[in-house]
Structure 1
Amino acid sequence: MAEEQNEKSIVASDDSDDDDSGNTESEQQTELSSILGKLSLGPKKEKKKLLVLSLSGLLLHRVHRKNFRKTPKNRSPDASCGPNLVYKRPFAEGFMKFCLERFEVGIWSSACEKNVDIVLNIVLDNLQDKLLFVWDQEECTDSGFKTLGNSGKPMFFKDLSKVFNYFKGFSASNTIFIDDEPYKALLNPDNTGLFPVSYDPADKNDNFLDPEGEFCSYLDDLANSSDVQEYIKEHSLVQPMIDSSHPDWPFYHKVLKNISNFAYDRLFYEV
């Protein structure tokens, strides 16, 4: 009997040790999982800012084949798009890769959709699927006026509020609008736009889009800035925005007033 009791006590003791060991291992695993979880989280990754780019004038030059005055004589076109000749800007692909590494990128053209699709295939090759969006004339705001430089060209605006409404999380503080025609940003918040001079395909030394150049260095600083509007206000580059100091402000003010009246009338009748 004594021997049986000793055996039972030994077995009971062994069972007890197994239970303690299980609890200890479970606690260690829980603690380890917690540590690994914290390590995997790491520092919170900051969301990329948004870059909204135009096509013609920035990434390429597009001209009607009958417009001999604007057709460069020292080079051949890279492609054609209907009646238009297309001249791809030097460093265009490298510039796009540079931008996609640092920003969310959207393309917004004032051309018709079918022309935008064709031109994108020419300029961006296999990068289209990396874009956040591709917008065309359909998303632009028609002012009802013609441009000052071309009486046959409709004046379209690119209203960033449409972008902000569609893509939540983006605002004037983290969005950069780039277009060679400053009037297209007239409906946008101040200090959200950059307006480089239009690309001249006859300029063989054009290196504006060079990823190692001044403009890309500026964009790199913008990508790392805390606030887009503050940075652009303090660090001017390229053409200024159109405001009351512009020599053609009376004309643009008239256009804006007409847009405001139209929006008010539409709101009144909808109500």
Structure 2
Amino acid sequence: MLRPTRICMHGAGWKRSGHKRPSKPRLGATTRRPPLSSTPSHSPAFPTATSKSRDFPRTPTMAAASFGYALPASFNPLAPTYNPSQHKPLGQVNMPLQPPPTPHAVVSRDQITQPSPESGGVPDPDPEYLALASHPPFQLPQPRNLLVVIDLNGTLLHRPTRKKPVRFVERPYAREFLSYCINTFTVVIWSSARPDNVSAMYQKLVKPEDHDKVIAVWARDRFNLTKSDYNLRVQCYKRLTYLWKDPVIRASALGDEDWTQLNTVLIDDSIEKARSEPFNLLQLPEFTGNANEPGFILPQVHDYLNECSQQINVSAFIRSQPFKIKPEFTL
């Protein structure tokens, strides 16, 4: 499968502010992430699987059929490419399905509270973001690369018990969808779970051959929470500016292009987590563990992502045409 052609987009914020664009660090062994930390810190939670430096952009080495997708005679990024004949029945489950727990067995959890002001409080979109998202969408003649930020629990999988994160139910087509994204776009995994739990889910869900192709895997230690909030059940907000300013993630963009609201998609089941950049959210219905979930959710997300890759301004496109489940969608 060919990687979508890239269109170079300059960050609008640097032009308006009049400031000089900072130089980008080169991605190599010296910019890789430090070892896994189980306590809150400002360092990323996951080391790179290999010590070899890698040049970007990555050119996928696997054909489309290797992802479990049908390969059209002429690749059309807007055409559905899932082939049900190449899949097992809906739901790849890595644990036995258990009956619902009895009421007395349900363990109550603390209510979600707002983060403290020291943790950043509750964000709102800034005026510049809203102004740029209010532009009319415009389609490019060729698809381009995207920064795709993907959540885990509730989006790609469901953990019946949080005490055993390696035991989860995968959303139908989760592995194929995730591998397609990794080999087509620039992908970051970002979950609000603790680093050790995210590591366990990541290692189990992502195909081994795709581990080194993910730009970054972020966990709870990347929300800039205070030590107190880190250990409480507070609402986490995925401020995309954290990603856009990160040296490793910035270095994955080509040439003079920056990752901005123009070319970033956050895939999550929570609209509240995307409060700071609401028009970059591709919101899915929460996955609650039904391995026979109807609707072909992830195949529809796949097609919508391909539409986003042909937009000059992703936030304007999502604002005007947000992702919606099509009940009549078939493979």
TM-score bin, normalised by smaller chain:
0.5 to 0.7
Match of 1:198 in 2: 286
1:21-40 matches, within 5 Å, as none
- Offset of residue 136 of structure 1: 0.4
Larger radius of gyration: 1
Query: Does residue 181 of the first structure (1) align with residue 264 of the second (2)?
Result: no
Match of 1:107 in 2: 189
Query: Does residue 155 of the first structure (1) align with residue 235 of the second (2)?
Result: yes
Change (3 A) 1:164 1:96: same
Alignment RMSD (CA, Å): 2.7
TM-score between the two structures when normalised by the length of structure 1? 0.57
Task: Point out 4+ residue stretches in structure 1 off by more than 3 angstroms.
Answer: 44-47, 141-146, 205-210
For structure 1, the 5+ residue unaligned runs are 1-43, 67-79, 147-151, 240-271
Could you tell me whether the CA contact under 8 Å between 2:175 and 2:205 is conserved in 1?
yes
**Aligned length in residues:** 173
1:70-219 matches, within 5 Å, as 80-81=164-165, 85-126=167-208, 127-142=210-225, 153-166=233-246, 167-168=249-250, 169-188=258-277, 190-206=278-294, 208-210=296-298, 213-219=299-305
Match of 1:194, SS state, is strand
The letter for the 2-side match of 1:60 is L
- Offset of residue 103 of structure 1: 1.4
- Offset of residue 111 of structure 1: 0.6
Match of 1:233 in 2: 319
Match of 2:124 in 1: none
Match of 1:254 in 2: none
Match of 1:225, SS state, is coil
Cα distance in 1, alignment partners of residues 6 and 282 from structure 2:
26
The letter for the 1-side match of 2:270 is E
Match of 2:69 in 1: none
Q: What are the superposed Cα offsets for residues 139-187 of structure 1, whole Å, 9 maximum, x if unpaired? A: 11449999xxxxx732111111111111331011110111111111112
The letter for the 1-side match of 2:169 is Y
TM-score between the two structures when normalised by the length of structure 2? 0.47
Match of 2:154, SS state, is coil
Q: What are the superposed Cα offsets for residues 190-244 of structure 1, whole Å, 9 maximum, x if unpaired? A: 411111111121251445454xx322111111112211011111212249xxxxx
Cα distance in 1, alignment partners of residues 222 and 162 from structure 2:
27
The letter for the 2-side match of 1:155 is Q
Could you tell me whether the CA contact under 8 Å between 2:170 and 2:291 is conserved in 1?
no
Match of 2:192, SS state, is coil
Match of 1:63, SS state, is coil
Could you tell me whether the CA contact under 8 Å between 2:157 and 2:170 is conserved in 1?
yes
Cα distance in 2, alignment partners of residues 95 and 57 from structure 1:
15
For structure 2, the 5+ residue unaligned runs are 8-143, 251-257, 326-331
Match of 1:156, SS state, is coil
Change (3 A) 1:65 1:174: closer
| Bigger fraction of residues in strand | 1
- Offset of residue 121 of structure 1: 1.3
- Offset of residue 100 of structure 1: 2.2
Cα distance in 1, alignment partners of residues 283 and 226 from structure 2:
20
